Structure 1
Amino acid sequence: MCGIIGIFGKESLEQSDYQAVRSGMDAMALRGPDAAGVHDGAGFCFGHRRLSILDPGSGKQPWVDSASGVVLTYNGEIYNFREIKERLRSRGHSFVSSCDTEVLAKAYVEWGKECLQYLNGIFAFGVYDPRDDALWLVRDRLGVKPLYYHCSSGRLRFGSTLKALFAFPEVDRVLDPAAVWHYLRTIRTSFGKRTLLRNIYSLRPGEELWWKRSSAPATRTYWQLPAIAETDKSAISFEAAVEETRAKVDAAVGAQLISDVPLGGFLSGGLDSSVLTSAALAGGASRFGTYSVGYKEKGFNEWEYIREAAEYYEVPNHEIHLEAGNYLADWEWLSGEKGLPLSTPNEVPIWHLAKSFRSRFCVALSGEGADEVFGGYVGPTFCSIDYDRSQGRLGPVSQAALYRLYGTDKFLSRLDHYFRINSWMSVERLQEILNEDWYPDEREESVSAYYGELFQAAESCTTLDAYMRVHLSVNLEGLLNRLDTSTMAASVEGRVPFTDHRLVEWINQLPDAYKMSLLANNRWAELQEKNSFELIQDQRVESKRLLRSAFQNRVCSSILAREKMSFPVPFSQWFSTFLLEPFRDWMNDAPIIRSLLSDESRLALANSDAPDPMVAWPLMNLAIWQRQFHIHG
């Protein structure tokens, strides 16, 4: 993995542009501690920081193809680069290195933008093609690798992090109010292509940007998971799907074992990391070891299951036991490295996990994507059955059952129902605490419009499938960004086999019931007095059916049967203890807090002995971020 940065313009560059590229590279030193390089030409300059994983002795970037003059700056791994290399050799290409960078460059030279169809991997890259005098930016299909850009005054600037882009003086650090509203609503720092700052955009997963200097830049989606009606899904039997799923997961993990530096995994004691460990060992991973992290507070670690899994697989596992006391300093440091507020409180322990991991390994297998792909988020997605039952589908449901969970039994749409469960803070809560000028209708309307487009694209799907698709679009991107930030801040490459696009496409065309369903012998007609969360509490719902069944003989029985813990962090307790005084200081002193909150709500929060953590967490993140990067607006 690496850090990339660049600028491309209609006119010649200034000396300050070249200096900004170098400063942006310095801001990404931890993403690429092994090497740094710059290449410039007429109206463009590319920079690169390298973390050497394949062919450490060569593959320095930016890469220049000697025959065509094509220049590449690239972050990621192409797992099938050896197969592509042989195909290119058969077409007359020769190679001077053993790295995937050269293969990617020559694949573009040979096939142009059509080369994307051959790539299996995680990537974000920029290409300058002198034959067309054009810039090409690309982000991988699921959005594992980030890529941000800013366009003004006839120039486009891009980079792996916002912090790197801040090196360009033209990049204003002005809040995007709608994106801030979305962050408070959902705790997500990406809002479609928008970031928390105006005019700084994120290239979307599966998206490319092409700018021929004589025309205007344009983006295009080159990959999108198809929406499939339930009646059009595969008729394969569950038993056959189990066998095929096991083979595809093993293949996805096997493809990602390529590395010229030590490779290991993160072990949480849950199903996903156990499956990855099993598949890595089955794939012949040599000297494979694992690392685990947790807090000492009871209920906020999984040591019992972690130790059971490590013993079951006979892998050396290293435990990192964290103390709460250093959390604030680590939080501030990680936000400063990221260039954005944190999204979830567990970004800090993941960074600690990666730092310790780096003492022995450089590449980590991690389980992000399994829940979105296989149906693991029971509450956020299985709640769809409440909407269906309220519409007279599936079976009856009592008004009382719905009122207990939602306070109503009527929902305007899938979108309306989805946000009643899948929000960090409700509109009503925000209206209670924010200044009036921070909640005009158009801000919530912009959120509804974006999510409405996602639901519109899933109109032909069942409600459960639609909720899973939306989660795949918005939740997974946040988790992948969390992993990228936390691991790269420790100079570790995080790999996520469950996001292999071939695996994702395979699971997508299977029936809903193969992923998540009521347990056998339960009938909707008998469950009308229970809402979805009560059914979950009664353990009537089975999640990740395919994954559990596929690996039932390769995962501890206790781990197969346990409920998901979602990497818990006791931050709710902390805002009543050691984070309380710092929080009060931020409430009283931070300019963004005084702008966002009414005086009444700000003082109430500052004077509380137990501030609402759902309010305190995003507000304190915004305050820390504003101070670090001089954000205004």
Structure 2
Amino acid sequence: MCGICGFISKQNITLAQLKEMNDTMYHRGPDDSGEEIFDIKDGYQIGMAQRRLSIMDLSPLGHQPMHSKDGGISVVFNGEIYNFLELRKELKEYPFCSNCDTEVIIAAYLKWGIKCMDRLNGMFAICLYDRETQDVYLVRDRIGKKPLYYEVNDGNLIFASELKPIMKREGFHKKIRKDILSRFLFQQYINAPDSIFENVYKLEPGSILKFHQGEITIWKYWDIKKVYHEMSKKPVNDYEQAKAELKELLNKAVASRMIADVPLGAFLSGGYDSSLMTAIAQAHSKKPVKTFSIGFHEERYNEAKYAKEVAEHLGTNHTELYIDEEEMLGLVESIPLYYDEPFADSSQIPTMLVSALARRDVTVALSGDGGDEFFCGYNIYENVHQAQLLDGLGGLVHGVCQLPGFRQIGLEEKLSFRVRVIAGNRNRETKTQFGASNYITRANQMVMGEGLPCHFPIESTYQVPDWQMRRMLLDMDTYLPGDILCKVDRASMKYSLEARCPILDKDVMEYSFRMAHKLKYEKGNKKRILKDIAYDYIPRSLLDRPKVGFGVPLDKWLRGPLKEQLTDMCSRDSLKRQGIFDADFTADMIENYMKTGDGGPATGANYSKLSWSFFTFQKWYQTYMR
């Protein structure tokens, strides 16, 4: 729900300017808005604003900024606190005047201070101002479900749920960080704390930023590495015990996310995660849960028929909509309007479509996000497991290839692709991130100047010997918040729809760290325990099939209906004027891609993702930089 923005500044930012910043996020909260500015010490002013999507307590009592009874604490908040009713029982001494979770944040802070964040179970981006201490806090939820950007400029702090309000600030300097672009082209998203602009950052998941009289301090109150190691000291090895306890936690997580004063439904793809969340929701509902799925006429992308079978078995009130390519292409122009910085996960398009479909009937939708990362579901995890088994042999092959005679004849380049990948995987900081090196080479060659490495060179910080578990933790730190959750937040909020993810409940995440890894993965059986819980609700025959995912025909689009746009984007003259990309290399590579289509490893469809990343960057650039 909602979007927030504001500032702590010595500049004269007026209430009208703050409202203008806030209204750039109308889509995040069309039901209400509030803007206030207060004087604080040392010549600073604090402005706090919120756009409201009413979910809990639809009355004016839920209006923000919200203040404590004595006026000492002010809050603007985006998200949901799912355990607010439990916390409210512990905070009986506070004189509540509303039934919304925002007021519980105020009461909790007054009782426990900023450590109250340890007690909140939910998704949230919060700005809290304490008049007595003159402290201003920005807080983001543990896994990064809700976004929170901030700009640091000459002792001033500007914050917002999206980049648009920050860009709207008078005097904002749009200086692109060229050093992150190679990584963006390769990864297709920009991970926290980085953003596309200099001096603008994303607050990392599980973090608190404190602003006090011009000084900024940031720390983690929930860190994946630390929590994983703490929880794994209390292991659960018994399969039946783990299954029963996880099932109970999932039921509690779903039930708490079904509390809403507006219509609620569920995304249903027919896969294990969304099907399980829907099944549990239906078990907690007295009437058929409204479910939604998107279908595609191209068979290899279509999961709608499976979702329909699951819906029929569970007895949900199911709605499906078959989409053609023209409808998907129609959303391409809107991508930069709602994804404020370059974002190239093409599944954003079907995610927007299913969000639009759901918003016709509901304001809240449950999703199955997080199941793959926390319970070992992606195919890459199988590849990582195999790579670790072969790593010793790969090191030996690499050593032989470096001997003078073999090096001279280029032996390593003559090896098969798989052997070459295993042999070349020698960087201890990126052991689980192996892949096609020519993709990385081209991403680096496209951008002028030195940049950040395309991979995340941080794996030793996890101190986890098992590569599979290490890669899962890495994905929880990067791909999940930076790509998946960003994609769902922007796609759903485009239509003023709130998406809730029960698997990303604090207690579920922490319990998953206690479970012995063999309960999640055994002899190629990925997501083992989550599947078994799903089978308690849904016949195995309706679920067991290869993973499909939300795909779009990028190669067909880029060499078809989008070809003319892409051709214009890689004009050498325009690239030279832009001064970001190597004009000759980039133009040659993309022109060659558009001509060859389904060529070999050096050209062709293998580079549709790099070309799409370049395309989405240029669409963003045209929207915000011209």
Say yes or no: TM over 0.5.
yes
Structure 1 residue 79 displacement after superposition:
0.7
Instruction: Give unpaired runs (5+ residues) of structure 2.
Output: 40-44, 401-411, 598-603
Shift of 1:109: 1.8
Distance 1:66 1:83, change over 3 A: same
Q: Give CA-to-partner distance per residue, 1:537-571, whole Å, 9 cap, x none.
A: xxxx1110010112212123234321211212222
| Deviation of 1:41 (Å) | 0.5
- Is residue 2:183 matched to residue 1:194? no
Matching residue of 2:77: 74
User: Aligned-pair distance for 1:133?
Assistant: 1.1
Find the partner of 1:620 among 594, 615, 620.
Answer: 615
Contact kept, 8 Å, 2:15 with 2:36, in 1: the verdict is: no
Verify the 8 A CA contact 1:163 1:338 in the aligned structure 2: no
Aligned residue for 1:205? 205
Secondary structure of 2:538's partner? coil
Q: Distance in 2 between matches of 1:24 and 1:587?
A: 33
1:406 CA drift (Å): 4.8
* Map of 2:124 onto structure 1: 123
Instruction: List aligned pairs for 1:138-537, cutoff 5 A.
Output: 138-190=139-191, 192-213=192-213, 216-225=215-224, 226-228=227-229, 232=233, 234-284=235-285, 286-380=287-381, 382-391=383-392, 403-410=416-423, 411-421=425-435, 426-431=439-444, 433-434=445-446, 437-438=448-449, 440=450, 443-444=452-453, 451-453=456-458, 455-477=459-481, 478-518=483-523
**Does residue 2 of structure 2 align to residue 2 of structure 1?**
yes
Q: 1:60 aligns with which of 63, 66, 75?
A: 63
Amino acid at match of 1:484: D
- In the alignment, structure 1 segments of 5+ residues that lack a partner are 519-540
Q: Do 2:301 and 2:549's aligned partners in 1 also have CA atoms closer than 8 Å?
A: no
AA aligned opposite 2:565 = P
Given the alignment of the two structures, is residue 39 of structure 1 paired with residue 40 of structure 2, yes or no? no
For residues 284-323 of structure 1, what are the alpha-carbon distances to aligned partners after superposition, in whole Å with 9 as ceiling and x for unaligned? 2645211111322221111221111111111121112222
Distance 2:145 2:349 in 1: 19
CA distance in 2, matches of 1:408, 1:124: 41
The aligned amino acid for 2:468 is L
- Compute the displacement of 1:329 (Å): 3.9
| Distance in 1 between residues matched to 2:362 and 2:156, nearest whole Å | 39
Q: Which amino acid aligns with 1:266?
A: F
The answer to which of 266-275 and 351-360 deviates more is 351-360
**C-alpha displacement at 1:142, in angstroms?**
0.6
**Separation in structure 2 between the aligned mates of residue 600 and residue 137 of structure 1, nearest angstrom:** 42
Matched letter for residue 503 of structure 1: V
CA contact (8 A) 2:144 2:205 kept: yes
SS in 2 for 1:407: helix
Shift in alpha-carbon separation, 1:170–1:502, aligned structure 2, 3 A: farther
The one-letter amino acid of 1:427's match is I
Counterparts in 2 of 1:169 and 1:379: CA distance versus 1, 3 Å: same
Shift of 1:403: 4.3
- Whether the aligned pair in 2 keeps the contact of 1:2 and 1:50 (CA below 8 Å) is yes
2:532 maps to a residue whose letter is S
Aligned partners of 2:145 and 2:151: how far apart in 1? 20
* DSSP 3-state at the match of 2:261: coil
1:580 counterpart letter in structure 2: K
Instruction: Check 1:29–1:425 CA distance in 2 against 1; reply closer, same or farther (3 A cut).
Output: farther
Paired with 1:388 and 1:140, the residues of 2 have a C-alpha distance of 36
Question: 2:201 is matched by which residue type in structure 1?
Answer: Y
The percentage of aligned residue pairs carrying the same residue is: 27
Structure 1 counterpart of 2:223, one-letter code: Q
Q: How far did 1:231 drift?
A: 8.7
Distance 2:382 2:161 in 1: 31
Q: How far apart are 1:229 and its partner, in Å?
A: 9.8
Secondary structure class of the residue paired with 2:570: helix
SS at match of 1:149: strand
Q: Which amino acid aligns with 2:418?
A: L
Q: Please name the residue that 1:538 is paired with.
A: none
Do 1:227 and 1:460's aligned partners in 2 also have CA atoms closer than 8 Å?
A: no
Summarize deviations over 1:172-213 as a string: whole Å, max 9, x none.
2111122212101211222x3111211110000000001112
* Alpha-carbon distance in structure 2 between the residues aligned to 1:17 and 1:426: 48
Under a length normalisation based on structure 1, what TM-score does the superposition of the two structures give? 0.88
Q: Offset at 1:359?
A: 1.2
CA contact (8 A) 1:587 1:594 kept: no
In 2, Cα distance between equivalents of 1:271 and 1:572: 28
135-144 or 462-471, which deviates more = 462-471
Cα offset, 1:17, TM superposition: 4.5
The DSSP-based 3-state class of the residue aligned with 1:623 is helix
C-alpha displacement at 1:137, in angstroms? 0.4
Instruction: Give the partner amino acid of 1:420.
Output: F
Deviation at residue 233 of structure 1 after TM alignment: 6.0
- Separation in 2 of the partners of 1:233 and 1:389? 31
- The change in CA–CA distance for 1:137 and 1:346 in structure 2 (over 3 A counts) is same
Query: Does the aligned pair in 1 maintain the 2:91–2:108 contact within 8 Å?
Result: yes
Displacement of 1:326 in angstroms is 4.0
CA distance in 1, matches of 2:371, 2:236: 23
* Aligned mates of 1:425, 1:227 — CA distance in 2: 34
Contact 2:137–2:209 under 8 Å retained in 1: yes
Alpha carbons 1:266, 1:365 under 8 Å: kept:
yes
Contact 2:263 2:363 in 1 (8 A): yes
Cα distance in 1 for partners of 2:564, 2:109 equals: 55
Moved more, 307-316 or 199-208: 307-316
Structure 1 residues 286 and 340, CA gap change in structure 2 (3 angstroms): farther
The CA deviation at 1:349 is 1.6
Report if the CA contact (8 A) 1:149-1:201 is conserved. yes
**For residues 301 and 173 of structure 1, do their structure 2 counterparts lie closer, same or farther at Cα, with a shift above 3 Å needed?**
same
Choose which of 545, 558, 567 in structure 2 pairs with 1:575. Answer: 558
SS in 2 for 1:228: helix
Contact preservation (8 Å) 1:385, 1:463: no
Secondary structure of the structure 2 residue equivalent to 1:412: coil
The answer (yes or no) to whether the contact 1:78–1:123 under 8 Å persists in 2 is yes
For residues 501-528 of structure 1, the C-alpha deviation after alignment (integer angstroms, 9 at most, x for no partner) is: 111111112222111221xxxxxxxxxx
Moved segments of 4+, more than 6 Å: none
| Cα deviation, residue 281, structure 1 | 1.1
Matched residue of 1:417: which SS?
coil
